[in-house]
């Protein structure tokens, strides 16, 4: 048999051609543009056949009769047994003009060409979109009943199918696949579309929350998903065994799934938190369309919607289909496939393959330079408190990545030693500069900012790392109010002085990133650290306000809720010697993440989980925190004792192991 295929280079088309070529003696002619001739060799390799069995026909879907040369038309006349038309724009986000040109005008040109070569049977691959947003069950023998086809994709798929039904003079069959996803056996897919738009959201949830944490999902209508191998196998079988003209077959999952079920299945495949509670989007149906349209026209609403959709990589049009109202009857398809062994696989059985392939090959993050070098090379990065601990470890990584790395601290000698250490690790070509400054002193901060502006034109990235921590219970601090003043002076006011001094330069350049090193204690409200938590909590609150104010100025902010780290600052507290703390290298990795990815917040799952507990069950959480407060003793310094050595009970050691990184 001889076949002609349009869209043979597409996702479905490539696999259909491969399937057709499995038939003995099959020869496939396929439409391809002249400028794409270089792809032919690769296609033949994919299909695994010689040039004698796959023959390119040069033309263009948008040209009359596909723009195929007259002599080629003459050669093909009466030779083609089956003509498969798959070429189309399968993209909800594509503009209306291009969809009309390909889906409608292209189908008309294809129908005319098929008639010109006197093809035996015309197989038109349409879509369930041809039904529009039909309320209820749409049968295979229904067409004119389609409704709500305002969206360009729905409209063009409906009109192109109408062309085949009304203007085509050849025997014809229409196939309406559902949302086509990757291969059920390999997960292979060529683009992000349909349910794949949810993948980024699920990935974000997995990064933030532990798998056991219940989460909230969005419920809606039913969406129908089928793997590409099922579509190809069904199309091949039906087209060769059921040649009655004028029939339509729904290549769909007989059951389908609600939006919430799909999200839950994909979350399980991704090892993300299970969605136990669903908010039904249909509840918003009582709002009149005119009111919703008016709300969406408001500038703040448009900005928020656009920002969220862009961040998640989801086309805004996807929200239109959350409450999808249509279900699809497929009894004709079921009858045609009976005894063939071809069934639509169940989504839960192959969802993990889809996820694995997406994360390895299609995740948009893969195409972005997420390296530290790609982010900071040649840029000015200031790290306060850079002479030791976390700041030193982070500065070394910035210098190694090619940044103009500036470290500041009070002690000039320590800064000089830190510079030597960084250069030894990053190499002699690294640019490392030191500035002596006391961040807690207003005049010193002014002088530092003035130098930075004069010598470097400001900074591109600011890491507010300098800080002071005091581990002392409130009842031991009644006569030590200065502890709170000193901590606030450095952790809060000091960071603000540097940040507010450098912000005008960032705004002028329309770019800049500020990373404020906060603490996990702010999330867990750690007892015994009231002075420290209050100062860092104030910085967190200021950062949230600033981020909102500068959201349209090109300046971004990240808060790092840092777990407890083994540094010179923790050294005086001897009980930490027997507790599992993060290393400075691990801590600096969190700062690198903040600089590269620029999230609003960087925090551990443990910190976020305890923070949620405070919101959900504050009284119970207070009791738990009080238990840990009584379990861990004050340090000798906090109690005013010299030479005394604090010891931990077995229970306390076990608790610290389980709650690694939390301040006790």
C-alpha closest to that of 16 among 77, 87, 81: 87
Establish how many alpha carbons lie within 13 A of residue 631's alpha carbon, considering only the half-sphere containing its beta carbon: 17
DSSP state of 344: P
Going through 103-251 in order, the beta strands assigned E by DSSP cover 121-125, 136-138, 172-177, 179-181, 215-219, 222-223, 225-227, 247-251
* C-alpha pair distances (Å), 128 with each of 249, 269, 380: 10, 26, 54
- Label residue 206 exposed, middle or buried (CB < 10 Å: 0-12, 13-18, 19+): middle
168 three-class SS: coil
For residue 331, what are the CA distances in angstroms to 59, 146, 162, 250?
38, 19, 22, 8
118 in Cβ contact with 81 (< 8 Å): no
DSSP state of 132: B
Q: Apex CA 118: angle with CA 117 and CA 123, to 5°? A: 100
Distance CA 41, CA 458 (A): 54
Distance between CA atoms of residues 520 and 542, nearest Å: 17
For residues 278 and 218, the answer to whether their CB atoms sit within 8 Å is yes
CA distances from 272 to 193, 290, 361, 446, 604 (A): 21, 37, 19, 47, 15
10 Å Cβ neighbour count for 314? 19
What 3-state DSSP class applies to 136?
strand
Q: Residues 360, 365, 368, CA angle at the centre, nearest 5°?
A: 120
Q: What is the residue whose two structure tokens read 């498969």? A: 84
Cα 30 to Cα 3, 80, 175, 185: the distances in Å are 8, 11, 19, 26
Catalytic residue numbers? Answer: 532
Question: CA 109 to CA 167: how far, in whole Å?
Answer: 11
CA distances from 447 to 368, 441, 451, 498, 516 (A): 38, 10, 6, 10, 21
DSSP string, 458-520: S-SEEEE---------GGG-TT-HHHHHHHHIIIIIIHHHHHHHHHHHHHHHT-EEEEEEEEH
Cα four-point dihedral sign 641, 643, 647, 653 = positive
Among residues 348, 344, 345, 308, the alpha carbon closest in space to that of 197 is found at 308
32 Ramachandran zone, left/alpha/beta (phi>0; psi -120 to 50): beta
- Long-range contact pairs involving 72-75 (C-beta distance under 8 Å, separation at least 24): 73/113, 73/116, 73/117
Token digits for 385?
């408190």
């Amino acid at each position: 048999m001889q076949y002609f295929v349009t869209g043979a280079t597409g996702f479905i088309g490539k696999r259909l051609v491969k399937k057709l070529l499995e038939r003995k003696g099959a020869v496939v002619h396929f439409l391809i543009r002249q400028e794409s001739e270089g792809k032919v060799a690769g296609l033949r390799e994919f299909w695994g056949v010689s040039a004698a069995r796959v023959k390119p026909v040069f033309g263009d879907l948008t040209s009359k009769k596909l723009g195929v040369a007259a002599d080629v038309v003459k050669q093909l006349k009466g030779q083609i047994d089956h003509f498969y038309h798959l070429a189309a724009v399968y993209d909800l986000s594509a503009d209306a003009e291009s969809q009309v040109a390909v889906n409608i005008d292209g189908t008309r040109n294809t129908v005319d060409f098929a008639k010109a070569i006197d093809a035996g049977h015309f197989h038109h691959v349409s879509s369930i979109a041809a039904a529009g947003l039909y309320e209820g069950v749409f049968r295979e023998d229904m067409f004119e009943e389609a409704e709500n086809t305002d969206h360009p994709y729905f409209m063009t798929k409906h009109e192109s199918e109408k062309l085949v039904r009304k203007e085509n003079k050849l025997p014809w069959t229409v196939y309406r696949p559902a949302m086509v996803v990757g291969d059920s056996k390999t997960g292979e897919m060529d683009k992000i579309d349909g349910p794949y738009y949810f993948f980024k959201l699920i990935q974000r949830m997995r990064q933030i929350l532990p798998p056991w944490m219940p989460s909230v999902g969005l419920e809606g209508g039913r969406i129908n998903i089928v793997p590409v191998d099922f579509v190809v196998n069904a199309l091949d079988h039906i087209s060769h065994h059921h040649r009655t003209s004028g029939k339509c077959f729904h290549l769909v999952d007989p059951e389908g799934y609600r939006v919430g079920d799909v999200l839950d299945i994909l979350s399980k495949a991704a090892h993300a938190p299970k969605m136990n509670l669903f908010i039904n989007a249909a509840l918003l149906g009582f709002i009149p369309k005119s009111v919703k349209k008016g709300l969406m026209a408001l500038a703040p609403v448009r900005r928020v919607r656009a920002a969220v959709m862009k961040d998640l990589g989801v086309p805004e049009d996807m929200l239109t289909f959350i409450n999808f109202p249509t279900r699809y009857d497929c009894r004709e398809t079921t009858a045609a496939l009976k005894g063939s062994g071809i069934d639509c696989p169940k989504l839960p059985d192959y969802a993990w393959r889809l996820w694995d392939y997406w994360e390895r090959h299609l995740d948009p993050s893969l195409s972005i330079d997420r390296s530290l070098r790609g982010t900071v090379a040649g840029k000015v990065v200031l790290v306060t408190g850079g002479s030791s601990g976390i700041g030193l470890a982070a500065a070394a990584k910035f210098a190694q990545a090619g940044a103009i790395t500036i470290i500041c601290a009070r002690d000039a000698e320590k800064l000089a030693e830190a510079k030597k250490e960084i250069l030894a690790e990053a190499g002699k070509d690294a640019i490392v500069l030191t500035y002596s400054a006391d961040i807690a002193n207003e005049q010193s901060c002014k002088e530092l900012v003035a130098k930075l502006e004069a010598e470097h034109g400001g900074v591109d990235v600011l890491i507010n790392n300098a800080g002071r921590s005091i581990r002392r219970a409130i009842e031991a601090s009644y006569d030590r109010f200065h502890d709170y003043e000193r901590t606030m002076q450095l952790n809060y006011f000091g960071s603000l002085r540097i940040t507010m001094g450098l912000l005008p330069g960032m705004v002028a350049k329309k770019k800049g990133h500020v990373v404020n090193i906060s603490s996990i204690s702010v999330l867990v409200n750690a007892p015994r650290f009231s002075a420290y938590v209050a100062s860092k909590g104030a910085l967190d609150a200021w950062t949230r306000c600033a981020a909102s104010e500068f959201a349209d100025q090109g300046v971004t902010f990240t808060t790092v809720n840092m777990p407890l780290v083994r540094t010179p600052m923790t050294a005086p507290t001897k009980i930490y010697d027997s507790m599992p703390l993060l290393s400075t290298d691990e801590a600096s990795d969190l700062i690198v993440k903040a600089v590269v990815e620029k999230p609003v917040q960087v925090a551990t799952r443990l910190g976020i989980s305890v923070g949620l507990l405070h919101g959900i069950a504050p009284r119970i959480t207070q009791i738990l925190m009080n238990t840990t407060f009584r379990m861990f003793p004050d340090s000798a310094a906090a109690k005013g004792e010299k030479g005394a050595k604090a010891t931990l009970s077995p229970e306390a050691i076990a608790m610290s192991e389980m709650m690694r990184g939390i301040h006790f």
